[in-house]
């Protein structure tokens, strides 16, 4: 378990500050830097989308279980749902039989399985939702522009990064952080959430490394 902060901060602040190093490690994996600099090909981007699919299926199945629950339902927003968007991207990138064509890596399966394993634990669900969705609304927007530029994509193929129901991502992210803090987790639950968010970044790092084994500049 990570060391508790000496400063009493909100859950959202603790998540932001105490996962920074793990976040930076994930962003620095050569596969990601090569992809973002246009040194790979469209197939590498398609493979990334394919690996993300099962992760979001697991995450959004967990979120569906929280709808109407006494705690946690405030973290579930229809406008964040990514699974249909990934399906649209995969149909465009791989064709109509994409389910038979994608090759899911063990690292992606491990990530999805971890989410399914901890889905019933609210602090851990919150950690995974925070890590994925706020990342998609932040760095994901830069990724969208870069892959469009480098790999000749228009709006098709990047639906995952397009949040049609969220006109102002910055405002929405602030609201989401407020909803995280409104969970009023205990100090122990906050520790659990921080630890799990670091696990999520480690799983992302492992996945990106595995993708790098398939696609290199």
Binding-site annotation, residues for heme b: 16, 23, 130, 177
Between CA 22 and CA 42 the distance in angstroms is: 27
Between CA 147 and CA 163 the distance in angstroms is: 17
Two tokens at 44?
A: 């590498």
* Residue 87 region by backbone torsions, left for phi larger than 0, else alpha for psi between -120 and 50, else beta: alpha
Between CA 151 and CA 153 the distance in angstroms is: 6
Question: What is the DSSP secondary structure assignment for residue 1, as one 8-state letter?
Answer: -
Listed in sequence order, the residues at least 6 apart from 50 whose beta carbon sits closer than 8 Å to its beta carbon are 90, 94, 98, 102, 103, 104
Question: Which of 172, 42, 195 shows the shortest CA–CA distance to 118?
Answer: 195
Two tokens at 166?
A: 């969220």
């Amino acid at each position: 378990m990570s060391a508790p902060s000496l400063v009493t901060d909100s859950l959202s602040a603790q998540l932001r500050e105490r996962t920074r190093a793990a976040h930076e490690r994930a962003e620095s994996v050569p596969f990601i830097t090569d992809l973002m600099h246009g040194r790979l090909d469209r197939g590498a981007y398609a493979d990334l989308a394919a690996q993300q699919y099962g992760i979001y299926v697991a995450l959004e199945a967990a979120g569906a279980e929280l709808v109407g629950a006494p705690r946690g339902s405030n973290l579930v927003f229809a406008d964040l749902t990514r699974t249909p968007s990934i399906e649209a991207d995969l149909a465009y990138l791989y064709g109509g039989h994409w389910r038979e064509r994608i090759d899911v890596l063990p690292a992606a399966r491990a990530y999805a399985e971890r989410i399914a394993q901890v889905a019933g634990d609210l602090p851990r669900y919150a950690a995974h939702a925070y890590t994925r969705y706020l990342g998609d609304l932040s760095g994901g927007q830069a990724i969208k522009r870069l892959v469009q530029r480098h790999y000749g994509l228009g709006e098709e193929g990047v639906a995952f990064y397009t949040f049609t129901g969220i006109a102002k991502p910055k405002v929405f992210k602030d609201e989401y952080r407020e909803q995280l803090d409104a969970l009023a987790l205990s100090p122990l639950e906050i520790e659990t959430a921080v630890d799990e968010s670091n696990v999520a970044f480690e799983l992302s790092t492992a996945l990106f490394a595995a993708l790098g084994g398939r696609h290199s500049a």
